[in-house]
Structure 1
Amino acid sequence: MAVFTSVTLEDLAPWMTQFPLGKALAIRGIASGIENSNFFIDTEQGEFVLTIFENLNFEQLPFYLKLMRHLADRDVLVPAPIANADGELCVALHGKPAAIVSKLSGSSQMEPLPVHCAEVGTMLARMHLAAQDFTIYQPNLRSLDWWQVTVPKVLGFLSDANRQLMQDEIAFQSSFAQTPTYRALTQGPVHADLFRNNVMFDGDKLTGFFDFYFAGCDSWLFDVAVTINDWCIDLATGELDLPRVNAMLNAYHAVRPFTPEESLAWQAMLRAAAFRFWLSRVFDFYQPRDAEMLTPHDPTHFERILRLRVSQVVAPLPQ
């Protein structure tokens, strides 16, 4: 877990007076995430989540927080940001942007079955459609532009084989982004990080998506590919598990049908989703930041997935 900024109950007490939640009674760090400092806080009005943003600034944060509010108001299951007395969703704490959101019930499903994947597919499609009329634009900050800047920073840490793989894939993705097929993909706000640990379940019932702080505007298909590459694989090998893949894709397609261009782009997007997380994990592994508790993710997991998505033909999308 990353806790870059320490917060005590004594720190929290005066800061909490601006929110309609009563007194803060307890605070404890959340054991996940490597980008922000996250805490559960017990208040007189119940349990909430406090996030202190370590990389995002006050100008960037309205996109994320207002997107979550927009989705929550349209019955998409996401944490709802809590406004202070001035209507602000983001307020400085220890000189850094901070926000409080409602806490979702349930727990993460780390060994998903097809029924769980279907629930995620349905809610992901609903989320995409509900965000169509969201008026704030921000690009996905970990998309192609970031890849092109970051690849040269990490090549020197890689083996010859992995250096070649990274150079080949950034060339492929840069070229594919210029094609009519890519440009025809439906775009809009996406979660962009919808891993198993960012979704809550109560039994087989999905109770919410959270951690929207990698969200941005990108192709909806990229969001689906990121999700498939985590939820629908054998974690040891990276191989796609077809019953789970089919459950998620069919459930998504039933709410928001895939387009012909998305069918053509499917394998390229699975590659892009694998590449994005391989690159970011390589970067975090070799150029770590200081934190009280920080364990970088193993880059080899997504290297393995990328090699599979490049070498193996994937089943087509539902039509």
Structure 2
Amino acid sequence: MKITKQEVERATKLYDLGKVKKISSIGGGLVNYNFNVKTDGGDYVFRFLGRKLDDYKKRKLKLEFRVLNYLKKKKFPYRIPDPIKNKKGQVLTTVKGRNLWIYERIKGKKVSKINGAQLKSLVKALAVYHKYVSSMNARRLKEDYIWLMKKYSVMEKVKPKNKVDRIMLENIDLFKDCLKDVSINLETGLLANHTDFHQGNLLFDGNEVVGILDFESVIVSPRVRDIAYAVKQYCFNKSKLSKSKMKNLLREYQKINPLSKKEIAMILPFIIRDSCVVFWWFYSELKKSKHKQYLYLKSSSERVKGLLREIK
């Protein structure tokens, strides 16, 4: 996505941010488009929404802003985006049909390859985040997977034209069976899960996490969802689960937030269910990083096959 200086200047006037000095694109992310904009008034991040702002997206965005405001009021110890209001008192605005919101750039560095000390700090940050949002009153939206089975029904009728189509068709039955056979409890330990808690959405100062970004996918769900995501990200050697890495990760988390045996037992089923959604999304919804689509589908399939062997 490209933006013009005129578009940026229009937005800076709406938010009274000063004269534009420099514009640069911020890489990463699979959905939204972020730009660093420096003005004579400060250093800002312009976050353009990569999806159409339908009713569902509006509800998600409302929850995202609510979580950010709640954490700010509770003096959350990590730096987070603080949405700036424009002259009309609104956070979200539209410039030439593009929806965006703005926050002051947060200090800290991203890491491409995480080390052991940084991973411990990541897990600690997740546990602290859960501590803070556990007292937030948030209603869980009805969550089922009927919609996903309908998506699968469309996918399995695809006439293969390339290797992406072929690997999808080779594995679609695997994911359909997982949806039917792998059950999860959606009522235990409910809180506002970040759902995308990895080093790409964190800022570090040396080995310590100092900032947390990208709350776009926040959803009220069992906290195990976030923990399962962390296990999926950091406890696999390719497609094989490392039980020792998982044990270490859970030990670090439980130094701050104890987990019940019931919750721990839910982790692997949650990874499988999450992979079911991810498989559809990578095939049907991925817009950025299309060159990695085949790899994403392949790794999701191999990981699920390995997990099914673990839980049987």
Instruction: Please classify the TM superposition score into its range, dividing by the shorter chain length.
Output: 0.7 to 0.9
Contact preservation (8 Å) 2:71, 2:132: yes
In structure 2, the CA distance between the partners of 1:232 and 1:136, relative to structure 1 (3 Å rule), is: same
Q: Which residue matches 2:72?
A: 72
**1:263 deviation in Å?**
2.3
In structure 2, the CA distance between the partners of 1:302 and 1:45, relative to structure 1 (3 Å rule), is: farther
The answer on 1:21 being equivalent to 2:17 is: yes
Structure 2 distance, partners of 1:137, 1:52, is 27
In structure 2, the CA distance between the partners of 1:153 and 1:223, relative to structure 1 (3 Å rule), is: farther
Structure 2 distance, partners of 1:135, 1:88, is 23
The amino acid across from 2:118 in the alignment is H
The amino acid across from 2:309 in the alignment is S
TM superposition score normalised by structure 1: 0.81
Count, aligned residues = 296
User: Which runs of 4 or more aligned residues in structure 1 lie more than 6 Å from their structure 2 counterparts after TM superposition?
Assistant: none
**1:165 deviation in Å?**
0.8
Tell which deviates more after alignment, 252-261 or 146-155.
Answer: 146-155
Structure 1 distance, partners of 2:147, 2:124, is 30
Structure 2 distance, partners of 1:36, 1:167, is 29
In structure 2, the CA distance between the partners of 1:117 and 1:273, relative to structure 1 (3 Å rule), is: farther
Of the three residues 170, 179, 204, the one matched with 1:201 is 204
The amino acid across from 1:165 in the alignment is L
Structure 2 distance, partners of 1:200, 1:137, is 29
Structure 1 distance, partners of 2:146, 2:96, is 31
RMSD of the TM alignment (CA)?
Answer: 2.7
User: For structure 1, which runs of at least 5 residues remain unmatched after alignment?
Assistant: 315-319
Q: Which residue matches 2:258?
A: 257
Within a 5 Å distance, the mapping from 1:1-319 to structure 2 comes to 3=1, 6-55=2-51, 57=53, 59-60=58-59, 61-73=61-73, 74-77=75-78, 78-135=80-137, 137=139, 139=141, 144=145, 146-156=147-157, 157-158=165-166, 161-173=170-182, 176-177=183-184, 182-234=185-237, 237-242=238-243, 244-284=245-285, 289=287, 295-297=291-293, 298-313=296-311
In structure 2, the CA distance between the partners of 1:41 and 1:186, relative to structure 1 (3 Å rule), is: same
**Which whole-Å deviations, capped at 9, do the CAs of 1:166-211 have from their partners, x for residues lacking one?**
11111124xx14xxxx144211211112233122222201122211
The amino acid across from 2:274 in the alignment is A
In structure 2, the CA distance between the partners of 1:48 and 1:273, relative to structure 1 (3 Å rule), is: same
Quick one: percent identity of the two aligned structures? 16
Q: Which residue matches 2:160?
A: none
Contact preservation (8 Å) 1:19, 1:84: yes
In structure 2, the CA distance between the partners of 1:35 and 1:233, relative to structure 1 (3 Å rule), is: same
Structure 1 distance, partners of 2:270, 2:201, is 21
**1:39 deviation in Å?**
1.1
Structure 1 distance, partners of 2:65, 2:11, is 19
Q: Which residue matches 1:317?
A: none
Contact preservation (8 Å) 2:138, 2:192: no
TM superposition score normalised by structure 2: 0.83
